[in-house]
Structure 1
Amino acid sequence: MAQLSTYFTLADTGGPHDTKRLKRELDTLPGITSVSISDSGCLAVDYDSTGVRQEEIRRKVQELGYQLRDVEES
């Protein structure tokens, strides 16, 4: 199991309802172990790379209507 983290900067997080929806939707992806979103728009996702790839996470975020400013992986 390869544990990785990826960080996105969201252009706009919307409100608390949108934040909960984003977390809930990302949790449905296989391999996601943790999702957190700061008030400043930083989205942090921990995941198992054997279950999901960073590109799939990015695509899901964009499908949900969020625009990304920056992406960083560690």
Structure 2
Amino acid sequence: MRVRIDPGRCQGHGRCYDLAPGLFGEDDEGYGHVVGDGVVPPHQEQAARLAVANCPERTIEILQETAT
């Protein structure tokens, strides 16, 4: 699983990095961004889903990876 944020829709509410600080951070202006490459470790999948559910702009997306 991977996560991504659409920077054009983020309004900087900060719920993503409050709820899942290991997956999301904030830039100098308070807008959310994905930490690292966006890969969500299995033990943080619930936190990722919580951040998605609590984003007012629905700017966070979960990308499912398929096995090769």
Could you tell me the TM-score, scaled by structure 1's length? 0.41
The structure that is strand-richer by fraction is 1
Could you tell me the TM-score, scaled by structure 2's length? 0.42
